[in-house]
Amino acid sequence: MSCIFIRFGKCNLACPWCDTNFNQFERLPLSRILQKVRSFSAKNIIITGGEPTIQPKLTALLAALKAEGYFLAIETNGLKNVPPQIDYIAVSPKRAYWEQYRRRHITAADEVRIVADENVVDFCQWVETHIRATNYYLSPCEINGEMNLLDVITQLGLLNTRRDKPLWRLSLQTHKLIGIE
């Protein structure tokens, strides 16, 4: 399935492993974004960041895209509500901000994806009881070119022990593994 990515350049968190280069963004008016989107044949759009839900013109953008028949997915940290135009929600809560999630977070998503920058087993167990989702994923963290894949596999084993059906799965950013940024 081909997708168009719309990446925003502002976030309400400051994760050290974030792959968004916040210094390389160009502000575009809604008309220019729509023009760029229309130049592709894909009808699936992934809104990502930074953090899309804090963008002041997100609602207008989503309304315009929805009116043109696009399927809209969002990748969010889950601290703010997701607009109703969204068809698919991928939430990526961050353990370093656990106290913020205890106070406020979205409660349902299509998928949960946690970047395992440290031991996140306890956080994952909390998330699975507070955010209903169809799929739960654990992703390795890459810092300074090093990926903690074996550590993540160990944590997956701990999370899925004593379950009839594993709940948590491994999610890899294949483009990073093969050297495409």
In angstroms, the Cα distances linking 181 to 49, 92, 175, 178 are 15, 20, 7, 9
Structure tokens at 174: 């294949």
Q: Is 92 annotated as a binding residue?
A: yes
Q: Is 171 annotated as a binding residue?
A: no
Q: Is 87 annotated as a binding residue?
A: no
Q: Is 7 annotated as a binding residue?
A: yes
Q: Is 141 annotated as a binding residue?
A: no
Q: Is 107 annotated as a binding residue?
A: no
Query: How far is Cα 30 from Cα 33, in angstroms, rounded to an integer?
Result: 5
Q: Which residue pairs from 156-160 have beta carbons closer than 8 angstroms and sit at least 24 positions apart in sequence?
A: 158/121, 159/121, 159/124, 159/125
Q: Is 145 annotated as a binding residue?
A: no
Q: Which residues are annotated as a binding site?
A: 7, 11, 15, 17-20, 48, 50, 92-94
Q: Which residues are annotated as a binding site for [4Fe-4S] cluster?
A: 11, 15, 18
Q: Which residues are annotated as a binding site for substrate?
A: 7, 48
Q: Which residues are annotated as a binding site for S-adenosyl-L-methionine?
A: 17-19, 50, 92-94
Q: Which residues are annotated as a binding site for Mg(2+)?
A: 20
